[in-house]
Amino acid sequence: MSEIIATSVQDVRFPRGWIPIGYTIPWITPPPAADTAEAQAAQRKIQNAYGAAVENVFAVLQAGGEGLAEAIEGANEKQDNILAAMHFEPEQKNPTFPADEKGPWEVNVAGKSLVLWRDSDDNLQCIDNYCRHMGAKLSIGEIKGDSIQCPFHHWSWNGEGDCTDIAYCDKIPPRAKTDKFPIVERNGMVFLWHCPEGSEPAWEIPVMEEFENSEWTNWTVTTEIIDTHWKELIDNISDRAHFGPVHDAPCSHFENVFEDHTALQINHCNSTTLGMLYSNATYYGPCYQITEWKGELPDNLAYEDGELILSRIQQPVKVAEGTIQDGYNFPVLDTDFNAFAGITEEDGKLITPMGDELTHKGKKVVKVPGPVHNVRMLNAHMPIDLKQLGADNDSFRLFTGVMIKKLDGIPDEDSEAISAAYAHASMNAFFQDVWIWKNKRFEPNPVLCAGDGPINKLRKNWYTQFYTEAEKNSADVA
Ligand code: FES
Ligand SMILES: [Fe+2]
């Protein structure tokens, strides 16, 4: 009896384009991931318990306020559970390519081992790591001026890929040339131009005006190797239908715009952990995406004089002139406030009358708008290697991070803390995908329905532009 083994055809090509390979800024250890079914279920249970407790607070208020103090205490207790579950102590790591260090550094990217170092002008140079003489790794050699010297027989190589010196021989062989890779440092990262045919860069990585800008926080970034094919991450560009089930953030509007090397995802979704999100996420080439987000955090409840009754989010909220609610936790529930017609300005002034007038302790109850955050998110990846080419696993390095526009009247450290909390939440969101990726195979010919995003267009029309002409015609179009 023969055994039937399910296989899936996987792509064996590396894309042409700018590939991010590391940070020039410090990064934090990624948070522990809820990357098993059990951990996912436990996370949801905690969130749902809190949601029910908050609903109870509103029910008590609507019934006249009897037992409100206990109801609020119950909700706060449940919120503490969420915070405990999300808590982590991020360890700060040094940049991979610090501006004040010379290297050399070894980088494994797109099935190759490369060496990087800084020349005498501190510009990064990058060539094939294996010495063309007899194959020693240059990354264990020494930098000599603008060149890197191989430890085996002391041949030196410059960033153009030319051999510049052989101590024991006057004549450098004409064939003493190796592969070089253009490098740019931008927005806190180092990018390498990868092309199997050795072409020059065909576009630029845009300079972010928010980077190193005093109106914005620093990046809070992290990185981790994921043992999955990077095209699972690419599919996310068009995978509208996964946002609800996987991220608890169902889309109310979703659109892709593909233009040359860019792919834009316009997404309006309601996230249980991040509130209402309006995002424009743009891929600049195959590996680098910057998202512009506007996050509207859910409202809180306060008495008319500004005293806060219930902060479901504990973001800094101005409830009355000079009153700021501290603490940087996350919105975990979006409750429908339609029953409450009263809205206040941030200074606590009532601007619309209450519909169903609610009072408690003889005071009017009003809702206070949560703050609006302007957020930038980084989602980038470096293809590392493929099982079909002999590696242990398909793998890529994920780079993700967040910065926010500093809020008026909030100290810089507090804005940084909010940014770090967003970064934590966005990393958690990535690991919701990882949990799926660990439990799926790549599907080259998916059966799609009308509610799915344009996944085939993404794969066949947009992503294939990053293959060489010869690769495009190969049978393996995934
Ligand atoms: S192997 Fe590099 S100099 Fe000989
Ligand atoms: Fe996702």
Distance 204 CA to ligand 2 centre (A): 26
Instruction: Please state the rounded mean pLDDT for residues 33-37.
Output: 74
Number of domains in the chain: 2
Evaluate: CB of 134 within 6 angstroms of ligand 1: yes
- Ligand found nearest the CA of 141: 1
The residue written with tokens 């219930």 in the block is 310
Evaluate: CB of 69 within 6 angstroms of ligand 1: no
Count of CB atoms situated within 10 Å of the CB of 383: 23
Instruction: Tell me if 189 is assigned to some domain.
Output: no
Cα dist from 29 to 162, 221, 233, 356, whole Å: 38, 9, 21, 48
At 244, give phi and psi (nearest 5°): -70, -60
- Ligand found nearest the CA of 435: 2
Distance 105 CA to ligand 1 centre (A): 18
How far is it, in rounded angstroms, from Cα 371 to Cα 136? 56
Do 276 and 304 belong to one domain? no
Nearest Cα to Cα of residue 431 among 171, 228, 185, 211: 228
- Residue 298 DSSP label: P
Instruction: Please state the rounded mean pLDDT for residues 82-111.
Output: 87
Q: Compare 36 and 194 and report the one with higher pLDDT.
A: 194
User: With contact defined as beta carbons under 8 Å apart, do 206 and 284 qualify?
Assistant: yes
Domain boundary among the residues 331, 350, 370 is at: 370
Do 379 and 320 belong to one domain? no
- Ligand found nearest the CA of 244: 2
Residue 350 bridge partners (DSSP): 344
At 429, give phi and psi (nearest 5°): -65, -40
Each residue of 323-337: pLDDT tens digit?
A: 333 333 333 222 222
Q: Which helix (H) or strand (E) holds 391?
A: none
pLDDT tier at 357, thresholds 50, 70, 90? low
pLDDT tier at 447, thresholds 50, 70, 90? very high
Tell me the best of 153, 156, 165, 166 to mutate to test the pocket of ligand 1, counting ligand atoms within 8 Å of each CB and taking the most.
153
How far is it, in rounded angstroms, from Cα 189 to Cα 171? 39
pLDDT value of residue 395? 94
CATH of the domain at 272: 3.90.380.10
Evaluate: CB of 148 within 6 angstroms of ligand 1: no
Distance 130 CA to ligand 1 centre (A): 9
pLDDT value of residue 442? 82
Ligand 1, atom 4, residue with closest C-alpha: 153
**CA of residue 144 relative to chain centroid, distance:** 37
Distance 440 CA to ligand 2 centre (A): 14
- Residue 130 DSSP label: B
User: With contact defined as beta carbons under 8 Å apart, do 169 and 250 qualify?
Assistant: no
Domain boundary among the residues 355, 370, 385 is at: 370
- Residue 11 DSSP label: -
Instruction: Tell me if 20 is assigned to some domain.
Output: no
Do 308 and 419 belong to one domain? no
User: With contact defined as beta carbons under 8 Å apart, do 222 and 400 qualify?
Assistant: yes
Do 323 and 435 belong to one domain? no
pLDDT value of residue 174? 95
Cα dist from 30 to 33, 221, 342, whole Å: 8, 9, 41
pLDDT tier at 320, thresholds 50, 70, 90? very low
- Ligand found nearest the CA of 434: 2
Please provide the average confidence, as pLDDT, over all residues in the chain. 80
Q: Map residue 233 onto helix, strand or coil.
A: helix
* Phi-psi domain of 272 (left: phi exceeds 0; alpha: psi -120 through 50; beta: other): alpha
Written as one string, the DSSP assignment of 308-319 is EEE-SS-S--EE
Instruction: Tell me if 275 is assigned to some domain.
Output: yes
Q: Map residue 75 onto helix, strand or coil.
A: helix
Nearest Cα to Cα of residue 256 among 456, 464, 15, 34: 456
For ligand 2, a single-atom ion, which residues have Cβ within 5 Å? Answer: 236, 433
pLDDT tier at 56, thresholds 50, 70, 90? confident
User: With contact defined as beta carbons under 8 Å apart, do 248 and 273 qualify?
Assistant: yes
Evaluate: CB of 155 within 6 angstroms of ligand 1: yes
Q: From the alpha carbon of 135, which atom of ligand 1 is closest?
A: 1
Range of the domain at 425: 218-295+373-472
How far is it, in rounded angstroms, from Cα 128 to Cα 106? 10
User: With contact defined as beta carbons under 8 Å apart, do 354 and 341 qualify?
Assistant: yes
Instruction: Please state the rounded mean pLDDT for residues 285-291.
Output: 97
User: With contact defined as beta carbons under 8 Å apart, do 114 and 130 qualify?
Assistant: no
Instruction: Tell me if 162 is assigned to some domain.
Output: no
Instruction: Please state the rounded mean pLDDT for residues 204-220.
Output: 95
Do 416 and 362 belong to one domain? no
Do 417 and 459 belong to one domain? yes
Do 305 and 442 belong to one domain? no
Ligand 1, atom 3, residue with closest C-alpha: 153
Q: From the alpha carbon of 131, which atom of ligand 1 is closest?
A: 2
Do 264 and 381 belong to one domain? yes
How far is it, in rounded angstroms, from Cα 338 to Cα 341? 7
Evaluate: CB of 131 within 6 angstroms of ligand 1: yes
Instruction: Tell me if 416 is assigned to some domain.
Output: yes
Instruction: Tell me if 190 is assigned to some domain.
Output: no
Q: From the alpha carbon of 153, which atom of ligand 1 is closest?
A: 3
Instruction: Tell me if 238 is assigned to some domain.
Output: yes
Evaluate: CB of 290 within 6 angstroms of ligand 1: no
Do 438 and 424 belong to one domain? yes
What is the sign of the dihedral through the CA atoms of 345, 348, 349 and 351? positive
Residue 301 bridge partners (DSSP): 310, 367
Distance 432 CA to ligand 2 centre (A): 7
Q: Map residue 55 onto helix, strand or coil.
A: helix
Q: Map residue 406 onto helix, strand or coil.
A: coil
Domain boundary among the residues 370, 401, 423 is at: 370
At 37, give phi and psi (nearest 5°): -60, -40
Each residue of 61-79: pLDDT tens digit?
A: 777 778 877 887 787 777 6
Distance 143 CA to ligand 1 centre (A): 14
Residue 321 pLDDT > 50: no
Each residue of 379-431: pLDDT tens digit?
A: 999 999 998 889 998 999 999 998 988 876 667 776 776 677 677 777 777 77
Instruction: Tell me if 411 is assigned to some domain.
Output: yes
How far is it, in rounded angstroms, from Cα 437 to Cα 440? 5
Do 330 and 364 belong to one domain? yes
Distance 27 CA to ligand 2 centre (A): 22
Do 468 and 393 belong to one domain? yes
Residues with Cβ < 8 Å from 430, sequence gap 6 or more?
379, 398, 400
Each residue of 116-141: pLDDT tens digit?
A: 999 999 999 999 999 999 999 999 99
Ligand 1, atom 1, residue with closest C-alpha: 134
ipTM: 0.97
Nearest Cα to Cα of residue 393 among 27, 189, 108: 108
Write down the H helix ranges in 97-193. Answer: none
Do 439 and 377 belong to one domain? yes
Evaluate: CB of 163 within 6 angstroms of ligand 1: no
